[in-house]
Chains A and B, each alone.
Chain A
């Protein structure tokens, strides 16, 4: 028989091993992508796959030379941040009114908003394409900012709504008694209190915008194409170049991964700071 202490230790060990196994499994594709991006095209095709090879940066150089990585990256940045900023600007007041001035229809409205996410995007491709064409917005960053804002809005409103719901109404009423106008109440009390929640909402929105491919592929070609479109351009027209595809994918993931990693520390601090009670 194991003593209680021993069985606890064994438990920890099993759970630990399991966690490591899952983590490695999840990380492996990214690791393999990074590895492939450093191979020559010939090494990348080798069977069995090679773990030991002479690394090269030629794929990365090729991408900047041939397609101008930075232009695509800049498009991704402006579109993601633009859509996130615009989305927050709409979602915060919407969530505020739903969280603090709830009516009988609030729950229904929230569900209805979410239900729009259930529609397959391709179902509205033609009308949106035609609208974009009509307004002369094809291949513009503006059209992607508008579309991304709209498709992410339900998620932003839902998330912010749940964060706001956790804030005692009393605090806002206290601010009102103290003489705060609606704008002061939001800027000086509500937003600082919920900044942890707002930050994670923004991060999620950035990630969703950054990784969106369907609309960027269909509505842009060269001027406004973000990184997702750049990846796609490496997959078909010139045949499959595994090493270059891996390199461009790595370059596309890297900024948002690094950004997420840096802000993670801020986020954790922000979230624990948000504890009100």
Chain B
């Protein structure tokens, strides 16, 4: 069991508040990812959970035990650092056994645990090497191994993949996913990479400026972003935004007049808007279509295109200078400066009020 509860957690450095009141429940065996831009407080939050930073106010509970003032060693957590933080003077085996040796564990028991962890992580042939003789990916696995042998209640990962090259990062991401399935452990993972957040997490916590913007499953966040920040942060390429005004508000939805020059009826429920309120419409690249079939047609100019083979991401500029990205088939590349017609899928548009909060709920189902 490992239920982690965080109550109104705050942390300040020299009068600067970094964490501004966080409430969060992390359930047993959940893979939770903290994601946000740099400086949003995600690493600080992890370090507060680890006990490496002192809490200014608030409470952290693990399985009902208040661990706010407990030393890092006695929290029953293990951490994997971005820089791996392996002990350079110890062999892989020693690195992995260090915590158990300190705790005075039985030698045979320690050896057995190390063998088991080494087998899981395919480190068996490397046990007698020093960290400097290992590649980045191997070091990362040792760092994970060091955490596994301790059999902690919660694993903490602080941007563990950001020092690896792109190919290795993808591979390690899969391995981490597999590891989570095998170990059935509670994991908290910090990253600034929203792809890692989307692919690994059971639950994503989007942080910004020391506050939680939204918590939910990756798909929930992708399809129902609570505000402009989350909408713009998750998804590659980013969601496009168009400014406009609510021209008619009904129970079944809201008609929006876009500055870019078209009118669109969005089936959002529970809208709190009045006619005339400024709004922002958000649309993901995959929900923009080429052609003139549809009720909101925009004429745009093609900017540069990025060809990925399977798809092409075409950046376009509307008549009033707003930028959108459109996902189109890989075999089509518009010329730079070419004039294109495109339509918006009304069912997949997101609507945000002037304060940036999502208006109502889109009606389409979460996949």
CB-defined contacts of A188 to chain B, threshold 8 Å:
98
Residues 1-54 (chain B) with a chain A CB within 8 angstroms? 50, 52
In contact, A173 and B85 (Cβ under 8 angstroms) = yes
- Interface assignment of B73: CB less than 8 Å from any CB of chain A: yes
A168–B87 CA distance with the chains assembled, in angstroms: 10
Contact indicator per residue, chain B 65-108, by CB within 8 Å of chain A (1) or not (0): 00000011110011101111111110000000011001100000
Q: Could you say which of A168, A184, A275 contacts B102, with CB atoms under 8 Å apart? A: A184
- Interface assignment of A107: CB less than 8 Å from any CB of chain B: no
- Interface assignment of B329: CB less than 8 Å from any CB of chain A: no
Determine how close the nearest CB of chain B comes to the CB of A127; give it in whole angstroms: 40
The closest CB in chain A to the CB of B150 belongs to: A178
- Interface assignment of A90: CB less than 8 Å from any CB of chain B: no
A180–B87 CA distance with the chains assembled, in angstroms: 13
In contact, B102 and A173 (Cβ under 8 angstroms) = no
- Interface assignment of A175: CB less than 8 Å from any CB of chain B: yes
A189–B85 CA distance with the chains assembled, in angstroms: 11
In contact, A170 and B82 (Cβ under 8 angstroms) = yes
In contact, A177 and B82 (Cβ under 8 angstroms) = no
Contact indicator per residue, chain A 169-187, by CB within 8 Å of chain B (1) or not (0): 0110111111110001000
In contact, A174 and B85 (Cβ under 8 angstroms) = yes
Residues 47-80 (chain A) with a chain B CB within 8 angstroms? none
In contact, B73 and A178 (Cβ under 8 angstroms) = yes
Known: A193-B87, A193-B89, A276-B88. A179 touches B81 (CB 8 A): no
Q: Could you say which of A174, A180, A184 contacts B81, with CB atoms under 8 Å apart? A: A174
In contact, B73 and A179 (Cβ under 8 angstroms) = yes
- Interface assignment of B129: CB less than 8 Å from any CB of chain A: no
Known: A177-B50, A178-B102, A179-B102. A171 touches B73 (CB 8 A): no
- Interface assignment of B335: CB less than 8 Å from any CB of chain A: no
- Interface assignment of A192: CB less than 8 Å from any CB of chain B: yes
- Interface assignment of B274: CB less than 8 Å from any CB of chain A: no
In contact, A179 and B103 (Cβ under 8 angstroms) = yes
The closest CB in chain A to the CB of B73 belongs to: A179
In contact, A168 and B85 (Cβ under 8 angstroms) = yes
Q: What is the number of residues of chain A that contact chain B, defined by CB distance less than 8 Å? A: 20
The closest CB in chain B to the CB of A274 belongs to: B88
The closest CB in chain A to the CB of B82 belongs to: A170
Q: What is the number of residues of chain B that contact chain A, defined by CB distance less than 8 Å? A: 25
In contact, B81 and A176 (Cβ under 8 angstroms) = no
In contact, B99 and A178 (Cβ under 8 angstroms) = yes
A175–B146 CA distance with the chains assembled, in angstroms: 11
In contact, B87 and A275 (Cβ under 8 angstroms) = no
- Interface assignment of B132: CB less than 8 Å from any CB of chain A: yes
Determine how close the nearest CB of chain A comes to the CB of B315; give it in whole angstroms: 39
CB-defined contacts of B78 to chain A, threshold 8 Å:
177
Residues 6-40 (chain A) with a chain B CB within 8 angstroms? none
In contact, A174 and B89 (Cβ under 8 angstroms) = no
Determine how close the nearest CB of chain A comes to the CB of B134; give it in whole angstroms: 13
CB-defined contacts of B50 to chain A, threshold 8 Å:
177
Determine how close the nearest CB of chain A comes to the CB of B117; give it in whole angstroms: 14
Q: How many A-B residue pairs have CB under 8 A?
A: 62
Known: A184-B102, A275-B132. A175 touches B87 (CB 8 A): yes
Residues 230-277 (chain A) with a chain B CB within 8 angstroms? 273, 275-277
Contact indicator per residue, chain A 147-191, by CB within 8 Å of chain B (1) or not (0): 000000000000000000000101101111111100010001100
CB-defined contacts of A192 to chain B, threshold 8 Å:
89
Q: Could you say which of A176, A184, A277 contacts B52, with CB atoms under 8 Å apart? A: A176
In contact, A176 and B73 (Cβ under 8 angstroms) = yes
In contact, A175 and B98 (Cβ under 8 angstroms) = yes
In contact, A173 and B52 (Cβ under 8 angstroms) = yes
A277–B102 CA distance with the chains assembled, in angstroms: 25
Q: Could you say which of B77, B86, B87 contacts A177, with CB atoms under 8 Å apart? A: B77
Determine how close the nearest CB of chain A comes to the CB of B160; give it in whole angstroms: 12
A15–B293 CA distance with the chains assembled, in angstroms: 78
CB-defined contacts of A179 to chain B, threshold 8 Å:
73-74, 99, 102-103
Q: Could you say which of B71, B74, B81 contacts A173, with CB atoms under 8 Å apart? A: B81
Residues 128-148 (chain B) with a chain A CB within 8 angstroms? 132, 146
The closest CB in chain A to the CB of B102 belongs to: A179
Known: A177-B78, A179-B73. A189 touches B83 (CB 8 A): no
CB-defined contacts of B82 to chain A, threshold 8 Å:
170
In contact, B88 and A177 (Cβ under 8 angstroms) = no
A276–B139 CA distance with the chains assembled, in angstroms: 13
CB-defined contacts of B132 to chain A, threshold 8 Å:
275
The closest CB in chain A to the CB of B74 belongs to: A179
In contact, A180 and B85 (Cβ under 8 angstroms) = no
CB-defined contacts of B72 to chain A, threshold 8 Å:
173, 176-177
In contact, A171 and B103 (Cβ under 8 angstroms) = no
Determine how close the nearest CB of chain B comes to the CB of A31; give it in whole angstroms: 41
Determine how close the nearest CB of chain A comes to the CB of B210; give it in whole angstroms: 22
A84–B129 CA distance with the chains assembled, in angstroms: 34
Determine how close the nearest CB of chain B comes to the CB of A247; give it in whole angstroms: 44
A47–B126 CA distance with the chains assembled, in angstroms: 69
In contact, B85 and A170 (Cβ under 8 angstroms) = yes
Determine how close the nearest CB of chain A comes to the CB of B124; give it in whole angstroms: 22
In contact, A180 and B83 (Cβ under 8 angstroms) = no
Offer 19 A-B interface pairs, CB within 8 angstroms, sorted by A. A170-B84, A171-B86, A171-B87, A173-B52, A173-B85, A174-B85, A174-B146, A175-B87, A175-B98, A176-B73, A177-B77, A177-B99, A178-B98, A178-B146, A179-B102, A179-B103, A180-B73, A275-B132, A276-B88
**Which residues of B are in contact with A by a Cβ distance under 8 Å?**
50, 52, 71-74, 77-79, 81-89, 98-99, 102-103, 132, 146, 150
**Which residues of A are in contact with B by a Cβ distance under 8 Å?**
168, 170-171, 173-180, 184, 188-189, 192-193, 273, 275-277
Q: A173-B72, A184-B102 are in contact. List 12 more A-B contacts (CB 8 A).
A: A168-B83, A170-B83, A171-B88, A176-B52, A176-B72, A177-B72, A177-B79, A178-B98, A178-B99, A189-B87, A192-B89, A193-B89
A-B residue pairs, 3 tightest by C-beta = A179-B73, A170-B85, A178-B99
